């Protein structure tokens, strides 16, 4: 018997036009749509005239449901997993199900689509070459501060989801953990009518959000710039010598002398003379 497929289908995070043609095609064709909240998702599905059968698969029952879904797929049915908004599994249910499917050798196909973290990051103006998605911080004050303090030396851009009622407390904790100068960006109500991006030092953004209660409403993604990278590959004495020689010699020559003395790459040292 031919097995079916589990499809992971992202849905819009605000603007209904962000559903993809392929998402609609898959949602129309599957035997069952497993949804985090069937009432919430039926509004979206009705909007697109999709009448597939809905199953509730949320964080409280997903472990039990996983087995039944794997069995159905093995029997040849195809199932689409959706969450209330955005990409399933990204701070949303689905991990036990996908893990069970992979374990059972059942095909899993993920469709690309809306995700608040990626959308916010791409518009943030912060470095995107390396980033760390951290999901939601703890609602408990001390646990939240400790989690942030553990990230003090992280050099990648950090991306968090945050609830509006906690944003002021969280910004205060970010200020305590990273200092008032660290750059942050808040992407709010992305793809919706009141979409805004606030950016600046933590102290500046905290002042802006405090002064404008509208900025304490809606859905938000908080991004924190990474710490500046320290180049541990060049010994401190080599850098000192480089600085001294660089005052007397052309930069290329200074870099070459220090490189041969410490057995380092002249190019790496040359970058430090610029
Ligand atoms: N799976 C979703 C995704 O792919 O983005 C995220 C689900 S998580 C339960 C919900 C959180 O995502 C919100 O609390 C907020 O932090 C963020 N979020 C979702 N939609 C957003 C939007 N339109 N603008 C800003 N943040 C959003």
Q: Output the residue whose Cα is nearest ligand 1's atom 8.
A: 91
Q: What is the DSSP letter of 189?
A: S
Beta-carbon count within 10 A of 192 CB:
14
Task: Out of 116, 166, 217, give the residue to mutate to test ligand 1, the one with the largest number of ligand atoms within 8 Å of its CB.
Answer: 116
Share in percent of the chain as helix, strand, coil (round to 5): 45, 20, 35
Work out which ligand 1 atom sits closest to the CA atom of 120. Answer: 25
Mutate which of 10, 13, 16, 114 for ligand 1 pocket (most atoms within 8 A of beta carbon): 13
Predicted TM-score (pTM) of this structure: 0.86
Kindly give the number of the ligand 1 atom that is closest to the alpha carbon of 90: 1
Q: Is the pLDDT of residue 231 over 80?
A: no
Q: What is the pLDDT of residues 21-77, one digit of tens each?
A: 999 999 999 999 999 999 999 999 999 999 879 999 988 898 899 999 999 999 999
Flag whether pLDDT at 230 surpasses 80.
no
Give the residue, by CA position, lying nearest to ligand 1 atom 19: 116
Q: What is the pLDDT, as a whole number, of residue 66?
A: 95
Tell me the per-residue pLDDT of 136-158, one tens digit each, with 9 for 90 and over: 999 999 999 999 999 999 999 99
Can you tell me which atom of ligand 1 is nearest the CA of 136? 16
Question: How large is the angle between the packed helices 236-248 and 266-273, nearest 10 degrees?
Answer: 60
Residue 45: C-alpha distances to residues 16, 152, 161 (Å): 11, 43, 26
The residue-averaged pLDDT of 243-247 equals 91
Beta bridge pairs of residue 82: 35
Confidence band of 4 (pLDDT split at 50, 70, 90): very high
Query: Percent of the chain beyond pLDDT 70?
Result: 99
Can you say how many angstroms the Cα of residue 106 is from the centroid of all Cα atoms in its chain? 27
CA–centroid distance, residue 97 to ligand 1 (Å): 21
Pocket of ligand 1 (CB under 6 A): 13-14, 83, 85-87, 90-92, 115-117, 161-163, 187-192, 219-221
Q: Residue 116 C-alpha to ligand 1 middle, in angstroms?
A: 5
Query: How many angstroms separate the CA atoms of 101 and 218, rounded?
Result: 35
CB atoms under 10 Å from CB of 167, counted, come to 22
pLDDT at residue 224 is higher than 80: yes
pLDDT for 274 beyond 90: no
Range with lowest mean pLDDT among 122-126, 129-133, 134-138, 263-267 = 263-267
State how far the alpha carbon of 41 is from the alpha carbons of 20, 34, 80, 189, 200, in Å. 16, 10, 12, 19, 36
Instruction: Give 223 Cα–ligand 1 centroid separation in angstroms.
Output: 13
Measured distance CA(1)–CA(211) in Å, rounded? 63
pLDDT digits (tens, 9 = 90+) for 190-205: 999 999 999 999 999 9
Closest-lying ligand 1 atom to the alpha carbon of residue 162: 16
Radius of gyration of the chain (CA): 25
Q: Are 37 and 118 in contact (CB under 8 A)?
A: no
Question: In terms of Cα–Cα distance, which of 176, 175, 163, 179 is closest to 206?
Answer: 175
Would you call 62 helix, strand, or coil by DSSP? helix
Both structure tokens of 3: 């097995």
Average pLDDT of 129-133?
A: 98
Phi first, then psi: give them for residue 190, nearest 5 degrees. Answer: -60, 135
What is the CA(175)–ligand 1 centre distance, in A? 23
Output the CA 168–ligand 1 centroid distance in Å. 18
Instruction: Give pLDDT tens digits for 169-183.
Output: 999 999 999 999 999
Ligand 1 pocket test target in 85, 134, 160, 198 with most atoms within 8 Å of CB: 85
| Residue 197 bridge partners (DSSP) | 187
Whose CA is closest to atom 16 on ligand 1?
161
Which domains occur in the chain, in start order? 6-110 (3.40.1010.10), 116-224 (3.30.950.10), 236-271 (no CATH)
Q: Taking a C-beta distance cutoff of 8 angstroms, is the pair 198, 209 a contact?
A: yes
pLDDT at 232 exceeding the cut of 70: no
pLDDT tens column, 67-118: 999 999 999 999 999 999 999 999 999 999 999 999 999 999 999 999 999 9
Alpha carbon 249 to chain centroid distance? 46
Report the atom number in ligand 1 closest to the C-alpha of 85.
Answer: 2
- Residue 185 DSSP one-character state: E
């Amino acid at each position: 018997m031919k097995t079916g497929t589990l499809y992971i289908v992202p849905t819009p995070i605000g603007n209904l036009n962000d559903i993809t043609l392929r998402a609609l095609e898959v949602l129309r064709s599957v035997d069952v749509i497993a949804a985090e909240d069937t009432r919430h998702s039926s509004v979206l599905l009705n909007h697109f005239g999709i009448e597939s059968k809905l199953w509730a698969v949320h964080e409280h029952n997903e472990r039990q449901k996983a087995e039944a879904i794997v069995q159905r797929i093995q029997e040849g049915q195809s199932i689409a997993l959706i969450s209330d908004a955005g990409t399933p599994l990204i701070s949303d249910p689905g991990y036990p199900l996908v893990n069970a499917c992979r374990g059972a050798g059942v095909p899993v196909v993920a469709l690309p689509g809306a995700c608040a973290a990626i959308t916010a990051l791409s518009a943030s103006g912060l470095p995107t070459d390396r980033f760390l998605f951290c999901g939601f911080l703890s609602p408990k004050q001390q646990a939240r501060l400790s989690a942030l303090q553990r990230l003090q030396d992280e050099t990648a851009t950090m991306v968090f989801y945050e609830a509006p009622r906690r944003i002021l407390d969280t910004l205060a904790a970010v200020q305590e953990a990273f200092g008032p100068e660290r750059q942050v960006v808040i992407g709010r109500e992305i793809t919706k009518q009141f979409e805004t991006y606030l950016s600046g030092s933590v102290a500046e953004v905290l002042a802006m959000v405090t002064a404008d209660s509208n900025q304490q409403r809606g859905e938000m993604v908080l991004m924190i710039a990474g710490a500046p990278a320290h180049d541990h590959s060049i010994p401190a004495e080599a850098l000192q010598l480089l600085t001294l020689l660089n005052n007397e010699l052309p930069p290329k020559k200074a870099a070459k002398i220090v490189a041969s003395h410490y057995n380092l790459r002249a190019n790496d040292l040359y970058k430090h003379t610029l």
